[in-house]
Amino acid sequence: MTRYMVLLPANEASWAESTPEEKAAGYEVHGRFAKLLAERGHKVTGGAELHHSSKAKTLRTTGDGVAVTDGPFAETVEQVTGFYLIDTDDLEDMLECCKVLADRETAIEVREVVEHGEVSA
């Protein structure tokens, strides 16, 4: 199986300003997505909703070493707000499943994970 990461960039301000009912509707869409993946034989192996990017830490190499700063790497309206790790043998069908999220998310990015050799015990 091939592993893919489904990244969910979104406008964090919109989510922060959402009502509890709007948030519940968003979570319901993600529940339908997970159910659809399982029904079609795709395996979710990880994923999470992420805290607001204002809680992020960014590390950058400088002339004096590595600097740690508060906040996200990119100064943009959209930030990665969550992700799924999915194992599948059928990318095209998995992408069809991802369309369920299009009702809720402003964009979805799917990237294949680079698999390095297994670590021996």
pLDDT digits (tens, 9 = 90+) for 1-47: 999 999 998 888 888 899 999 999 999 999 999 999 999 999 999 99
* Range ranked top by mean pLDDT from 5-9, 55-59, 65-69: 5-9
CATH class of 2-112: alpha beta
Q: Could you give the residue ranges of the DSSP H alpha helices within 1-121? A: 12-16, 20-39, 91-98
Structure tokens, 10: 């979104």
- Per-residue burial over 67-94, b = 16 or more CB atoms within 10 Å of its CB, e = otherwise: eeeeebeeeeeebbbbbbebbbeeeeeb
* Contact status, residue 21 vs residue 86, Cβ threshold 8 Å: no
pLDDT of residue 118 exceeding 60, the answer is no
Question: CB neighbours (10 Å) of residue 55?
Answer: 10
Query: Cα(95)–Cα(76) distance, rounded to whole angstroms?
Result: 26
